[in-house]
Amino acid sequence: MNFIDYSSFFNNKNLTALISYRDKNYAIKKNCDNFIASLKIDHNKIIFPEQTHSSNVKIVGKSKHYNETDGLISTTKKYGVGVLVADCTPVFLFGIKSNHFGVIHSGWRGAANKITTKALKKFISLGNMPTEIKAVLGPSIKKCCFEIGRDVSSFFSRKNLYPKKASKFNLDLKKEIYDEVSRFGLSTKNIFSDSHCTFCDHDKFFSFRREGLSAGRMVAIMKVKNI
pLDDT at 58: 97
Residue pair 170/161 in contact by the 8 Å Cβ criterion: yes
pLDDT at 217 over 90: yes
String of DSSP letters for 11-28: T-TTEEEEEE-SSS-TTS
Q: CA dist 167 to 57, 109, 218, Å?
A: 33, 19, 32
Q: What is the mean pLDDT of residues 62-87?
A: 95
Mind listing the pLDDT tens digit for each residue in 142-170?
999 999 999 999 999 999 999 998 899 99
217: helix, strand or coil: coil
CA gap 63, 42 in Å, rounded: 17
Kindly state the percentage of the chain with pLDDT values over 70. 99
| pLDDT tops 90 at residue 91 | yes
Which whole number is the average pLDDT over 56-61?
96
pLDDT at position 227 over 70: no
pTM of the model: 0.97
Mean pLDDT confidence for 105-114? 97
Specify whether the CB–CB gap between 170 and 144 falls below 8 A: yes
Write out pLDDT tens, residues 177-203: 999 999 999 999 999 999 999 999 999
Query: Cα 115 vs. chain centroid, distance in angstroms?
Result: 11
Provide the CA 121 distance to its chain's centre, in angstroms: 16
Q: Is the pLDDT of residue 64 over 90?
A: no
pLDDT in tens, 15-54: 999 999 999 999 999 999 999 999 999 999 999 999 999 9
* pLDDT value, residue 225: 87
What's the chain's average pLDDT? 96
With beta carbons less than 8 A apart as the criterion, state whether 40 and 221 touch.
Answer: no
Name the percent of the chain lying above pLDDT 90: 94
- pLDDT for residue 165: 83
Alpha helices by DSSP H, listed for the chain, are 29-38, 108-112, 115-125, 150-153, 173-184, 208-211
